[in-house]
Each structure stands twice: as structure tokens, then as C-alpha cells.
Amino acid sequence: MTSSPAPKNVKRQFPNPKELAPLLKFGGLSLHRREKRLAGALTIWDLREIAKRRTPQGAFDYTDGAAESETSLDRARQAFRDLEFIPNILQDVSTTSLLRTSLGENFTMPVGIAPTGFTRLMQTEGEIAGARAAAKYGIPFCLSTLGTTTIENVVAAAPGGTAWFQLYMWKDREGSMALVERAQRAGVKNLILTVDVPASGQRLRDNRNGLTIPPRLTAKTLINAIPRTAWWMNFLTTPAISFASISEWPGTVSELLDKMFDPTMTFDDLKWVRANWKGTLTIKGIQNLDDAKKAAKFGADAIILSNHGGRQLDRAPVPLHLLADIKGQLKGDMEVHLDTGIMHGADILAAIALGAQFTYVGRAYLYGLMAGGQAGVERTFEILRSQMVRNMKLLGVNSLEELQPKHIRFLHRS
């Protein structure tokens, strides 16, 4: 059988130079490599990949890793993947608002920067970059007890921003309260007391990397540094990493945390902190309903449902799974916040729909920081903001207040 010739459906001609010229658009040579690098990041996962390329393994793994099998972190992220949104169609969504009030303050988005320790280890701009980016985007910045910038310097660096302070109760109670008093004098209005660290979780990546503060210049770290010269130049030519608590530690990070944290802390200590703190008090690390009720009883203004980013108890409860039940059974005005596992603006919307008043990101912020300093942190929140706005429109809502549990359904995995 012979094939018939192909039908002549088109007429061929030589390209017309006048028609071809508008199609030949070449980007100009950019000397701003950081801006180009960050503009190419369309998701938080993209920022993570950039961060991994630019950061030594020990510092990156400290951020990226979790405790033991890392199951707690994996499950927290999976919980967001295992939900589906139920949209309403034909709604006027020409305007959308991400405005949120939390603890008496107004913010442009329902997400803040979670407290993270050793931040200048990730990238030399550290907490200053985070605080200034947060101020620019109208959201709170939470400074950790194990931060690498003083509370006074954070407040001074972003005078128009909102700085909150996170407290670990140390064995040295006077030292702990001295930090609280400094935060009060600096103008901090919200104290975040973290309560899930009677001992440090076993963070195997840090142990295997031999991570110390500051990092040692060993043969392994020098080899790892070869493609990451910018990080090492910053590390070697800027002031040494120091903390409010300790300037240098010869052991691993886990050993430092075990030495500092107080395993005797009880709800009586929470009562004592409440009596000595004049601002709002948030309790971070709540993982069941009974503890949430006790926190309310002892005067907390807010709780954060959190398993510490999966960095403490392996196989810990998933905060998102706890949210609706705890929110529904708490009485009074105490706010319920949430962290752990958030990697997309839609994750934030899901938490709001299920009852969270506010949310926090830690790793997502640090990935941006490692990818490009303050500009990278700003890129983090630009990505999250655009994702929230787009998904609100697709859901058919104009404001966060319109988000309800009816918009969420969890898929059941076999």
C-alpha cells in the first residue's frame, strides 16, 4: 500500500524580518547575580535548593534536619499535602485582604518569623536581615534566646517593626529572667515561652557533621567550603558568632542544649513567668488538649501548636491535626497559633481555615536567608504572599475571616 501525500494545510514562506524582530528578545547582561538568582526562585523549595548550594553542609543540615528519623517533620509536611480545598465558584474576588490582628497588633499577613537559634551561622546577616524584612512586610519577628544578635540590636535595626522575644527557661533562672527584663526594657510586647525542651532531641545530622558553635575549620569543612566561598568569606571577615548565653562551646549543639535547658520546669514556672512579665504571654510547644487548657488556666494569651519543627520528639503529634479540636474546645479569648511544616502560602490558609489565628515559618525563612540574605528573606514572603492571594481567589474568598473548616477536607491515606 502506498501512502498518499500529506494534505497541504499550510502555506510556507520565508520569515519576514519585520515580523521576526519582536520575537527576538534577549535579556540584558545582569550584574546583579543575587537578584537574578532570587527572581528565579518561584517556591520555597526553590529557595531551599539555592540555600543548599551556597551553605556549608553543617549549617544547612542544622536548618534542614530534624530529630532521629525526621518522621515528625515529614508527617507535619505530609499533613498539608493530605488536605484538599473545597472552593466556591462565581464569587467576586476582585479584592483580597491578608490583614490579621493578633495579640492586639495588626499585621499585613497571618504569618511571622519563628524564633531560630544560631541564625548567623546560616548566613552572616542573620537576625538583622530577618527583622528588617519582617518590618518591610508588616509581620512580627521573633528573636530566639539562642539568637546571634541581642534584643537591643534587633529592635534598633528595625525600629518600625514588631519584635517578639522567645525564652528558654535555663537552669540559671536569674539569667533567664535577666533576658526577660532586657526584652521588656527594649519595648518587646510579647514573650514566647518555649516548653518542649526538657532535653534536646537527637538531631543525627548535627551529630554526624560534628557541628560546633562556631564551626571548626577541619579538613572536611575546608573541602566542603571550596564551592561555597561567599559563605566562608562572610564568616571569616565579620564579627565572630556570639550569643546572649555563651560565646563558644567545644561540644555539639545537642550537648550545649542539654547543658542549658532545665528538665525540672513545671507549670509552676509558667505561673511565675506570667507574674513577672507585663506584656502578652505565648506558650510554644503545646501538643495536646489538656496542656492547652492548663496554659489558658495559668494566664497564657496565646498558644502555639508546635512540635518544634520536628526537632524534639520523633513521631510527635502533627500540629495541623490537633488544630480544629483544640480550637473548638478552648473557651475564652486565648488565641491558637501554629507552626511546623509550612512550606507554601496555601498551608497558611489551611491553618487559618481550621482555626489558627496566626502562623509562623522557621525553615522557610532560613532557606531565604541562606539563599540571599535580607533580599532572600523578602523573597520568601513575596512567594508566600502571592501564593496566599492566588489561592484565596481560587477558593472564592476575599478575606481571612471568610476561611472556614468547610473549605478543608483531609484525604485518608491507606
- Average confidence (pLDDT) over 71-95: 96
Percent of the chain with pLDDT over 70: 89
Q: What CA–CA distance (Å, rounded) separates 36 from 360? A: 27
| Contact call for residues 240 and 214 (beta carbons, < 8 A) | yes
Could you tell me the pLDDT band of residue 37, with boundaries at 50, 70 and 90?
A: very high
Quote the pLDDT of residue 248.
57
| Contact call for residues 310 and 74 (beta carbons, < 8 A) | yes
Exposed/middle/buried for residue 410 (C-beta within 10 Å: 0-12, 13-18, 19+): middle
- Average confidence (pLDDT) over 312-337: 94
* Domains of the chain and any CATH numbers: 44-410 (3.20.20.70)
164 pLDDT higher than 50? yes
Q: What CA–CA distance (Å, rounded) separates 408 from 308? A: 24
Find cell 500500500 and name the residue. Answer: 1
Respond yes or no: is residue 337 known to be catalytic: no
Quote the pLDDT of residue 31.
47
Q: Per DSSP, what are the bridge partners of residue 360?
A: 112
**Which 3 state secondary structure label does DSSP give 148?**
coil
Pick the closest to residue 72 from 284, 341, 364, 264 (CA basis).
341
CA 239 → CA 102, 211, 233, 234, distances in Å?
A: 36, 19, 12, 9
Among 12-26, 46-60, 213-227, 350-364, the range of highest mean pLDDT:
350-364
Could you read off the pLDDT of 177-236 as tens digits, one per residue?
888 999 999 999 999 999 998 888 888 888 888 776 666 656 676 677 778 888 878 877
Catalytic residue among 308, 337, 344, 407: 308
CA 134 → CA 112, 152, 361, 386, distances in Å?
A: 8, 16, 12, 16
Q: What's the start-to-end Cα distance of the chain, in Å?
A: 54
Quote the pLDDT of residue 236.
79
- Average confidence (pLDDT) over 333-360: 97
Q: What CA–CA distance (Å, rounded) separates 135 from 118? A: 21
More confident residue, 9 or 285: 285
Quote the pLDDT of residue 178.
87
Q: What average pLDDT does the structure give for the chain?
A: 89
Q: Per DSSP, what are the bridge partners of residue 166?
A: 192
Could you tell me the pLDDT band of residue 29, with boundaries at 50, 70 and 90?
A: very low
Cα 83 → chain centroid: 20
Phi-psi bin for 360: left (phi > 0), alpha (psi -120 to 50), beta? beta
